[in-house]
Copies of this chain bind each other. A is one copy, B any other.
Amino acid sequence: MRSIEELTDVVRARGGKVTSQRLLIWRALEGDRTHPTAEALLERVKPLLPSLSPATLYSVLNELVEWGDLRRFDAGDGSIHFDPDTSDHAELICLRCHRVWDVRASAAARDVPEEIAGFRVLNHAEQYYGYCADCRRAAGETAVSA
C-alpha cells in the first residue's frame, strides 16, 4: 500500500475528497500484517468513529484494491482477507483451520515484471496451501505422506 501522502494525492488527482473516513481506514491498514477481514477492520476502527458504516468501509477497501494498494484473498474457506503488504512475500494458508501465515521465503524474493504481454503489473502474490502443524497433529498425522 502506498503512503498516506501518496494516497492523498491519488484521491485529489481523481477529483475526490480526502475524508476523515478514508484517512481513518488508511491508517488502520498502514503496516498491518494480520490479514484482517472486513469485519475485523470494522471492529478495529469503530471505536475511533462509531458512526462509520460498513458500506463506507467496503467502498474504501474496494477502491484500494482497484488501485492495486490492497490485496484481497480467500483463505480457502470463502472468508475474505485483506493485505496492504504489497511487497514480495508469500502466504501459508491452512486448508483445515484457514489461518494465514506470512513467509518471506527466498523463493518469493524475485523481480516482478512491470509488464507481461501488454498487461501492466501492479503487484504480485503467492500462496502455499496445505495443512499447518496444529491441524496435522490434530489429524494424527506424523510425517509427510502424500
Contact = CB atoms under 8 A, between A and B. Distances in A.
A110 to B, nearest CB: 6
Contact of A116 (B72, B73, B103, B114): B103
List of 4 A-B pairs having minimum Cβ-Cβ separation, nearest first: A118-B133, A121-B130, A122-B130, A120-B130
Interface in A59-91: 65-68, 71-74, 76-78, 80
Contacts of A95: 65-68, 122
Contacts of A128: 112-113, 116, 119, 121, 123-124
Counted per complex, copies of this chain come to 2
A144 interface: yes
Contacts of A92: 116, 119, 121
A126 interface: yes
Chain A interface bracket (under 10, 10 to 19, 20 to 34, 35 or more)? 35 or more
Contact of A133 (B119, B123, B126): B119
A55 interface: no
Given A73-B74, A110-B107, A114-B144, A125 B119 contact: no
Contact of A119 (B74, B116, B131): B131
Given A116-B128, A120-B131, A72 B78 contact: yes
